[in-house]
């Protein structure tokens, strides 16, 4: 906790003016209702998952495509073009910033091939390559972020990922300190924040819950906006699903009884298509007695994100040697490239 208190978070919080002494206002119920009648509800930026002006946590397991989806969401907002049938209620494009601790410029450029990259000045990106010797990643980010928001009129910030910046947030006090720093920026500038987080390895038969958020579920409890997740689908190796975990400002429509089904494609750059808004999470979970044949293993190895042998073995719950054998067979048939050292979602590729 001392590291957090000594960081740029305190400088940001201390920069706020001293609050005035709070005063209680006594109102009738009729007066309360009347005073809020003209209030304009902030627009949805991604259907019921994200509202303008809130702090949002988005998490998922390794290999689910979190970075791909975050980039796609920011592009959608910067272009003012909705993703499929997911609601986007803004009347104009919003200026977006991606703070990227995951990908190099080279890797990101590869992902952009075939996409609409005519975003003008509406989509900026920041990839810290190094940090001052006397500063941690969190110090560096919080010192620079406010200036960047002000100088460039940034309205939406996506940060990929939380663990790279605050790897040791464990207690409720730590989590509250981090959230407070972002609330300062939200209050001063109305900025929307999307923070990508990870989950530990999950049982593929279990629904995604708040407790799966890596580091501290307290972070989710204290989040002043929304918490949502992306999960792997065991009905199709190319499918994923989105689920609301918690929302303070919107209805929880996609809470498991309904989820949003996505399909990962690599036709115009790596991105997702919206397949359905009415599937159940149960449709995507692995059945207790699921058995995968070699055809399904080969299909997993050939999907657009080029997963590693270990990733496919973990995902399907099969022995690694079975996946390695299927990979070898595909290569001998000329149906799997052997010159890829990395898969397109990061990490070791099929030639591990």
The structural domains of the chain, with segments of one domain joined by +, span: 2-11+43-283, 291-352
Quick check: 290 pLDDT over 60? no
276-304: average pLDDT: 82
Could you name the CATH architecture of 2-11+43-283? 3-Layer(aba) Sandwich (3.40)
pLDDT at 292: 66
Q: Is the dihedral of CA 268, 270, 274, 279 positive or negative?
A: positive
pLDDT at 310: 85
**Residue 193 in tokens:** 């924040």
Quick check: 194 pLDDT over 70? yes
Rounded CA-CA distance 223/252 in Å is 15
Could you name the CATH architecture of 291-352? Orthogonal Bundle (1.10)
pLDDT at 165: 79
Alpha-carbon distances of 117 from 39, 74, 108, 162, rounded to whole Å: 36, 12, 12, 26
Token pair 């699903």 is at which residue?
Answer: 241
273-298: average pLDDT: 83
Quick check: 345 pLDDT over 60? no
Q: By percentage, how much of the chain surpasses pLDDT 70?
A: 84
227-236: average pLDDT: 93
Q: CA angle, corner 107, sides to 160 and 336, nearest 5?
A: 115
pLDDT at 13: 59
Do 334 and 343 meet the contact criterion of CB atoms below 8 Å apart?
no
Residues 6+ apart with CB under 8 A from 349: 306, 308, 340, 341, 342, 343
pLDDT at 128: 76
Q: How many helices (H) and strands (E) does the chain have?
A: 12, 11
Model confidence at 142, in pLDDT bands (50, 70, 90)?
A: confident
pLDDT at 80: 95
pLDDT at 351: 32
Kindly report the average pLDDT of the chain as a whole number.
83
Bridging pattern class, strands 239-247 and 226-232: antiparallel
Rounded CA-CA distance 223/142 in Å is 18
Q: By percentage, how much of the chain surpasses pLDDT 90?
A: 40
pLDDT at 208: 93
pLDDT at 349: 40
pLDDT at 202: 77
Higher pLDDT, 46 or 286: 46
Higher pLDDT, 117 or 322: 322
């Amino acid at each position: 906790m001392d590291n957090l208190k000594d960081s740029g978070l305190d400088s940001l919080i201390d920069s706020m003016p001293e609050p005035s002494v709070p005063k209680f206002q006594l109102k009738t119920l009729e007066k309360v209702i009347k005073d809020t009648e003209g209030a304009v509800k902030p627009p949805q930026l991604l259907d019921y998952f994200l509202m303008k002006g809130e702090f949002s946590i988005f998490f998922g397991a390794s290999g689910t495509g979190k970075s791909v989806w975050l980039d796609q969401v920011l592009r959608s907002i910067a272009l003012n073009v909705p993703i499929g049938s997911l609601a986007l209620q803004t009347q104009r494009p919003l200026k977006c910033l991606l703070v990227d601790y995951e990908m190099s410029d080279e890797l990101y450029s590869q992902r952009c091939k075939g996409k609409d990259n005519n975003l003008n000045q509406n989509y900026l990106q920041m990839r810290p390559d190094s940090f001052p010797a006397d500063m941690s990643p969190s110090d560096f980010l919080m010192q620079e972020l406010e200036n960047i928001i002000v100088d460039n009129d940034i309205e939406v910030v996506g940060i990929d990922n939380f663990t790279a910046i605050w790897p040791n947030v464990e207690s409720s006090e730590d989590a509250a300190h981090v959230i407070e720093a972002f609330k300062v920026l939200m209050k001063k500038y109305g900025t929307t924040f999307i923070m990508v987080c990870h989950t530990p390895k999950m049982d593929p038969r279990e629904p995604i819950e708040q407790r799966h958020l890596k580091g501290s579920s307290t972070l989710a409890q204290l989040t002043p906006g929304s918490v949502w997740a992306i999960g792997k689908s065991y009905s199709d190796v190319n499918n994923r699903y989105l689920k609301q975990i918690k929302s303070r400002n919107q209805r929880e429509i996609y809470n498991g009884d309904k989820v949003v089904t996505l399909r990962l494609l690599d036709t115009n750059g790596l991105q997702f298509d919206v397949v359905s808004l009415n599937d159940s999470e149960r449709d995507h979970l692995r059945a207790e007695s699921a058995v995968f044949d070699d055809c399904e293993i080969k299909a997993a190895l050939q999907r657009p994100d080029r997963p590693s042998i270990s990733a496919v073995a973990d995902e399907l719950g099969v022995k690694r040697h079975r996946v390695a054998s299927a990979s070898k067979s595909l290569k001998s048939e000329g149906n799997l490239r052997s010159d890829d050292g990395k898969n397109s979602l990061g990490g070791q590729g099929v030639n591990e």
